Amino acid sequence: MPPSIRLARFAGRLGLALAVVVGLLVLFLALIVLTDGAGSGLAAWLTTLGVGTVATLWRGRRQRWPTRLVRLLPVVVASALTASVCIPTVSTQRRYPTDLPFVATQRWSLTTGSRVAVYHYPPSPNGTAYARPFVYLNGGPVRSISLLDHRFLQLLARQGYDVYAYEQAGGGRSDLLPMDQYTVSRSVRDLDAFIDHLGKGPVDVLGFSSGAVVLTQALADPGVAANVHRAIIGEPGPMDGPTARINGQQGRPSARGLAPATSGPRSTYVPRYGVAFGLMRLGLLSPDTALIGQAEGANAFTAADLGSDTASGYCARDAHRIPTEDTAQNFSFSAAASLNVQQTIKDSPSIAPQLRLSRTPAMLMIAECSAQIRQWATTVLDNDPAIQRTQYMPGVGHHMWNGLDDNNERAAAVITAFLQDKPAPLPNYPIRADISAFLDDHR
């Protein structure tokens, strides 16, 4: 037989084998979706193995056994590849970050049933102390408070503020909740319960990113708002379902796509977690999927998995000097729980009618290079009559206090001026009358 014919036959057989492997992989992924990862993916894997084996043996039923066994090789390859999706490579029991060396981790049991990790930075004894507590709600939403944020909170404490921060239920060192309890309304109730547990009357609250969403929804609830003395809404996400559906514009260019790739291990390079997180992000697996448990997913996720999301928090001009926001020992992010909270925001009705009744003095902070949809912030501005000033922060991205240059000091100056009811260090811009021009100018 001429070599060319032998080569053609070999190529044909190889192509058929690859097609079998690809077909079984597609079948496996489809079954993962249909079964929602039942049995850690074993239901899909056993079905795929069975279908592949039976189909291959049936197709080669007239051939001798050695040939029939050779035909099973693509099934074996596909089985090995798909089996890697069913095998955990990290602990399936929650492993919490170690305690920080510079601040004690307190654990408070709230009346809502949440048990949260709390950090307290008392005011510096060297200056004027402000007795009213200052509470920080971090973004995430189900994420540890980064070291960058801790440094900023320490700066506020040095300026005389009695600073408290807590990691929302399921995030950082806080205890996990059942997946269906991760909702924005639960986060609002937890904030109210936290202030009650503190027992020092109404407090000043800074909410950042998704924490700003929780704060905004709290301001729309008169019972919770009564516990908030002053509110600082920093770079908010969408405040409710109608706002989440806005397809708007972003701020000045961020470092997304310009910054060097984040270094470090990625769980998404591991087949099990790449499949699980990818299908969850696409909405093909539920956050409560049986493929990976909540604890395993939180253990597996790394800072590098956030990829360009981190870079999107900085201005394009800072693309090559983005600071390290956290350490592997402190970083913690629950992708599944965060998706569940975000979905409850998308599903929530409009809070605009309730927000228009707010009387809690508030300030809105907007970053120049924010990758957030601008209308998320301007919708809050348009509907909250108690917003007394807006501070458009030049030269910073979504993460406004980032340790670069004097960004921390500038953010602190804006916050402290509002809390002390002093003149703002920046123009009050945009005001409600400026919203259309602000958006048209692509600021």
* Residues 380-410 pLDDT 10s: 999 999 999 999 999 999 999 999 999 999 9
pLDDT above 90 covers what percent of the chain?
Answer: 81
* Residues 355-383 pLDDT 10s: 999 999 999 999 999 999 999 999 999 99
For the ranges 39-43, 184-188, 247-251, 403-407, which has the lowest average pLDDT?
Answer: 247-251
* Residues 288-328 pLDDT 10s: 999 999 999 999 999 999 888 899 999 999 999 999 999 99
Give, as one character, the DSSP assignment of residue 273.
Answer: H
- Predicted pLDDT of residue 440: 87
For 282-296, b/e burial (b = at least 16 CB within 10 A) is eeebbbbbbbbbbbb
Burial class (CB within 10 angstroms; exposed 0-12, middle 13-18, buried 19+) of 316: middle
Mean pLDDT of 122-139: 90
Q: How far apart, in whole angstroms, are the C-alpha atoms of residue 218 and residue 239?
A: 10
Other CB atoms within 10 Å distance of the CB of residue 310: 20
Q: How far apart, in whole angstroms, are the C-alpha atoms of residue 418 and residue 404?
A: 23
Is the pLDDT at 251 greater than 80, yes or no? yes
* Residues 154-180 pLDDT 10s: 999 999 999 999 999 999 999 999 999
Q: With contact defined as beta carbons under 8 Å apart, do 366 and 340 qualify? A: no
Q: Predicted confidence band at 73 (pLDDT cuts at 50, 70, 90)?
A: confident
Alpha-carbon distances of 66 from 52, 57, 205, rounded to whole Å: 17, 12, 73
Average pLDDT, the chain: 92
Is the pLDDT at 248 greater than 80, yes or no? yes
Q: How far apart, in whole angstroms, are the C-alpha atoms of residue 344 and residue 98?
A: 30
Is the pLDDT at 102 greater than 90, yes or no? yes
CA 71 to chain centre: 46
Is the pLDDT at 69 greater than 90, yes or no? no
Is the pLDDT at 67 greater than 60, yes or no? no
Give, as one character, the DSSP assignment of residue 207.
Answer: E
Is the pLDDT at 70 greater than 80, yes or no? no
Half-sphere exposure of 157 (CA within 13 A, CB side): 19
- Predicted pLDDT of residue 12: 58
Helical H runs in 348-406? 352-355, 374-383
Q: Predicted confidence band at 66 (pLDDT cuts at 50, 70, 90)?
A: low
* Residues 6-50 pLDDT 10s: 555 555 556 667 888 898 999 999 999 999 999 999 999 999 998
Q: How far apart, in whole angstroms, are the C-alpha atoms of residue 271 and residue 277?
A: 10
Amino acid identity for residue 284 in this structure: L
- Predicted pLDDT of residue 54: 87
Is the pLDDT at 270 greater than 80, yes or no? yes
Amino acid identity for residue 174 in this structure: S
Cis amide leading into 66 (omega within 30) = no
Domains and CATH numbers, the chain: 3-83 (no CATH), 106-263+306-440 (3.40.50.1820)
Q: How far apart, in whole angstroms, are the C-alpha atoms of residue 412 and residue 153?
A: 9
Mean pLDDT of 182-187: 98
